[in-house]
């Protein structure tokens, strides 16, 4: 029995060290996230798993598990860029993680007019693609018009709009100091900064990190990833280690 206790202690030490290293990596370097909704389709799909860079925008209390209230400051702060795909804590509860595309920076005026996105009274450049993509929205799929949009800084990405019922016009949104305005790429199926009671303008303290790379993806409609016999159908092998743009 005496020989067992040192082994138990050594195993506990190894476990504690492993947990500590994992916590450091998660808090300061990279954190894995799972995509549960369709708001960023077709660029991010339900079932995608990705790594988020925690050092991209600096560190705040939201960089750590459970957002401990040790400070209301941002350390080593770096400004995000338009077009970045960002994970942030929703201002509604400061706990729930959202992932959206950064569209507006402090001081911007954002507005949709006749279905076109305007930034500071100028329409963004966009080109309609001669394709139609079905995207998820709740329990349904709908046809979309597909556009390549170009932000003022030259960032390009694909956004989709409901082909039948799209959001055409909004009131102007004025982005406050130290806040940001986010949109989902699945424009008519996204809870984002257009909805002030839920998301609205996001404080820089709430930015968790920048989405960098997909490391795994599975289609749960085609089978569980734990069912080895269905891996050929359920795992999206073409999305593994894909860079997020």
Q: Establish how many alpha carbons lie within 13 A of residue 55's alpha carbon, considering only the half-sphere containing its beta carbon.
A: 5
Query: Around Cβ 148, how many Cβ atoms within 10 Å?
Result: 13
CB within 8 Å of 17: residues ≥ 6 apart: none
- Residue 48 is inside which H or E element, if any? strand 48-53
- The neighbouring-strand residues paired with 146 are 160
Catalytic member of 74, 89, 100, 210: 100
> Residue 100 catalytic?
yes
The Cα 243–Cα 224 span in angstroms is 24
The Cα 35–Cα 47 span in angstroms is 6
Catalytic member of 37, 39, 190, 234: 39
Q: Which residues are catalytic?
A: 39, 100
């Amino acid at each position: 029995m005496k020989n067992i206790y040192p082994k138990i202690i050594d195993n506990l030490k190894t476990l504690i060290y492993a947990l500590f290293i994992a916590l450091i990596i998660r808090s300061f370097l990279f954190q894995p996230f799972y995509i549960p909704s369709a708001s960023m389709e077709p660029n991010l799909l339900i079932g995608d798993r990705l790594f988020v860079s925690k050092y991209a925008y600096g560190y705040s209390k939201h960089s750590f598990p459970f957002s401990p209230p040790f400070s209301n400051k941002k350390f080593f702060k770096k400004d995000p860029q338009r077009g970045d795909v960002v994970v942030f804590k929703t201002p509604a509860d400061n706990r729930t993680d959202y992932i959206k595309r950064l569209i507006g920076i402090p001081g911007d005026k954002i507005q949709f007019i006749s279905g076109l996105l305007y930034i500071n009274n100028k329409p963004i450049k966009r080109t309609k693609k001669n394709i139609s993509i079905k995207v998820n929205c709740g329990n349904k799929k709908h046809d979309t018009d597909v556009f390549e949009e170009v932000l003022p800084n030259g960032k390009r990405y694909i956004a989709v709009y409901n082909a039948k019922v799209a959001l055409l016009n909004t009131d102007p949104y004025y982005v406050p100091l130290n806040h940001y305005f986010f949109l989902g790429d699945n424009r008519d199926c996204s809870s984002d900064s257009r909805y002030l009671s839920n998301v609205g303008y996001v404080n820089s303290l709430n930015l968790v990190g920048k989405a960098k790379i997909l490391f795994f993806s599975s289609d749960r409609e085609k089978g569980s990833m734990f069912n080895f016999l269905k891996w050929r159908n359920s795992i999206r092998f073409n999305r593994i280690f894909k860079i997020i743009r």
